[in-house]
Amino acid sequence: MDRSARIFLEAEALSLRTRLEQVKPFSLTMPMVAAASISDAAFRAVTDHLLLSTRKLRQQVEQFLRYLHQPETAQTSDEELQARYATLKLRFNAILDQFDIFADVISQRAEHHTGVWIAGLDVLAADALQLPGHFYEAPPLMCFLERGHGAAIRRARTRLPGGDTNPVAIIQVPRERMVGSGIASSLVHEVGHQGAALLDLVATLRDEMQHTALPAGQQRAWNLLSLWISEIIADFWAMAQLGIGATLGLMNVVSLPRYFMFRVRGTDPHPFPWIRVELSLAFGKRLYPHEQWDALRRLWHRLYPTADLPEETRAIIDELLACLPRFVELVCTHHNQHTQGQPLLSLFPVVERQPARLRALYRSWRQEPASLPFHQPSLVFAVVGQARADAAITASEEGRLLGRLLAHWAWMRAEDRSGASAGFLPAMPATRTFIH
């Protein structure tokens, strides 16, 4: 017996409504200990977003069910009814896609130790996004670990599946970089993408570059730098927060077989790996003048010499290197309405992250380890990164230290759900030591 299209679609819509009711709020399903949970701000943003989306879809389903029983529906073709139902189903699938994005972040925090460490990374990320002054309202951030080599971010206020606006920034960091100061380089780079978007830096930097007069022979290199500006400014953000630790972490990330190090592609928004490190070194020397940058550059050239490169590749590298002083200064002095007319460099805590200052802090912390958790997480990672560069701390010591600190920051955030920075909360019990 043939079934009426309306009966069929009513059954499908009722089934969709039933499945929609199975999308439970995370407050009923979160499996982690309190210290591993996401921030209150992120939890509220995600919960409110999903609640509003599911409520709106439920209303649309109810409207569709009522419409099926109205007399005027007899004039509506089966094809149009199916199209209306298909739209509801697509919306339902988009909400499930959004739910899975957030669930992947949250459910991972049930892993022993790892979940708490990730919550500590949340605290580090939030600290790295904050700038002295009031330049923007920072969105909530959530971190999670993923397989693979690199990090990524789904920025707040961008589009989710289905077209909704993402209420939080979700930062993916590679599992292989846990735990050490190198994780901060990847994490704060992604934070830099969010910060650059909030300050509209990519567009205004490109505009300034377009109106910059250049010496003969530098236009090709300048065009490449403009193409790469989004990734460059994210690396700059990491450098401004972490000092030499940003470069060391970057060198680890891009240490690839030689074939990949010098592949110049005119449409790739990522600088090729070799020049990306050169850019980091140039910014480092500008922000934190010290001979350590020259020593690190000599090491980089020994690891990846350029003498035997094809002539065309060497020509591009030479042009880029010739542009770097002018380009670095342009970025450091750049300003727009979102920076309130202040040069970009002045927005960051560069003075307190000078090598001598970081070394002095490390010596002080070794004498008084209980003071360590009271400092900003980004400053702590900058100090440890400098200590790693100076060979003052071993990789195993670094891993143990930062693992404990990430757990500490997560624990303190759980103790104080007001959202205050963990660095300014009471210390953990005296039995916990941080530097041995």
Length of the chain: 436
Nearest-5° angle of CA 138, CA 139, CA 141?
Answer: 115
Cβ burial, residue 57 (10 Å; 0-12/13-18/19+): buried
* pLDDT in the model for residue 24: 77
* pLDDT in the model for residue 250: 93
* pLDDT in the model for residue 435: 55
DSSP 370-431: GGGGGS-HHHHHHHHHHHHHTT-S-HHHHHHHHHHHHHHHHHHHHH-TT---GGGSPPPPTT
pLDDT-derived band at 430, boundaries 50, 70, 90: very low
Contact 241, 128 (CB under 8 A): yes
pLDDT-derived band at 429, boundaries 50, 70, 90: very low
Nearest-5° angle of CA 171, CA 196, CA 123?
Answer: 40
* pLDDT in the model for residue 3: 53
Q: Which of residues 27 and 81 earns the better pLDDT score?
A: 81
Q: H-type helices in 211-291, by residue range?
A: 219-227, 229-242, 244-253, 258-261, 273-287
Rounded Cα distance, 113 and 410, in Å: 11
| pLDDT at residue 428 tops 50 | no
Provide the residue type at 396 as one letter: S
Contact 233, 202 (CB under 8 A): yes
- The C-alpha torsion from 137 through 139 and 143 to 148, rounded to 10°, is -90
Q: In what order do the strands lie in the sheet with 169-174?
A: 141-146, 169-174, 152-154
pLDDT-derived band at 100, boundaries 50, 70, 90: confident
- pLDDT (mean) for 91-95: 89
For the chain, what is the mean pLDDT?
88
* pLDDT in the model for residue 181: 66
- pLDDT (mean) for 383-396: 92
pTM value is 0.86
| pLDDT at residue 165 tops 70 | yes
- pLDDT (mean) for 7-21: 86
Which phi and psi angles does 154 have, rounded to 5°? -105, 100
Contact 235, 188 (CB under 8 A): no
- pLDDT (mean) for 209-213: 93
pLDDT-derived band at 388, boundaries 50, 70, 90: very high
- pLDDT (mean) for 352-357: 96
Q: Which of residues 101 and 383 earns the better pLDDT score?
A: 383
pLDDT-derived band at 342, boundaries 50, 70, 90: very high
- pLDDT (mean) for 297-306: 95
* pLDDT in the model for residue 15: 86
| pLDDT at residue 432 tops 70 | no
Residue 168 C-beta-side C-alpha neighbours within 13 Å: 30
* pLDDT in the model for residue 426: 38
Provide the residue type at 4 as one letter: S
- pLDDT (mean) for 238-255: 94
Of 186, 155, 185, 149, the C-alpha closest to 169 is 155
Of 331, 230, 347, the C-alpha closest to 284 is 331
Tokens 């599911």 sit on residue = 54
* pLDDT in the model for residue 306: 94
Q: Which of residues 7 and 317 earns the better pLDDT score?
A: 317
* pLDDT in the model for residue 28: 65
Q: For 25-66, what is each residue's pLDDT tens digit?
A: 776 666 667 788 888 899 889 989 988 998 999 999 999 999
